[in-house]
Amino acid sequence: MMAQVLSVLVWALLLSGAFFLVTGALGMVRLPDVFTRMHAAGMADTMGAGLILVGLCVHSGVNLVTLRLLLVLAFLWFTSPIATHALAKAALSGGAEPYTLAGGDEGERGTEAEGGGMS
């Protein structure tokens, strides 16, 4: 009984992690510019990887593997915002114009972003 509850919990965690990974990947395609896409990538870093690693922790039980998985998660959550920040800063100094709804010369990409949906 206990094993079944754990197994369901593990699957729920792994699948919801996978959901955030897929949604993040979809966001990479759908969102209009590098800055908005970073938010989608951040989703895969935080909840995508996080839920999958926690799911693996529950699967492995209480042992050294669990501790190592939690260390992976900790290092990931410490380093990924720094990578994101470096990317944003590089994009800004490289002259990338952030997409805005009002944005003059970016207007065409606005309609593309709205029309390019799943409809």
Which residues make up the interface to another protein (CB under 8 A)?
A: 19-20, 23-24, 26-27, 30-33, 35-36, 38-40, 42-43, 46-47, 50, 64, 67-68, 71, 77-78, 80-82, 84-85, 88-89, 92, 98-101, 113-114, 116-119
* Closest distance to another protein from the beta carbon of 52 (Å): 13
* Closest distance to another protein from the beta carbon of 16 (Å): 10
Tell the burial category of 63 from Cβ atoms under 10 Å away from its Cβ (0-12, 13-18, 19+): exposed
> Beta-carbon neighbour count of residue 17 at 10 Å?
21
* Closest distance to another protein from the beta carbon of 8 (Å): 20
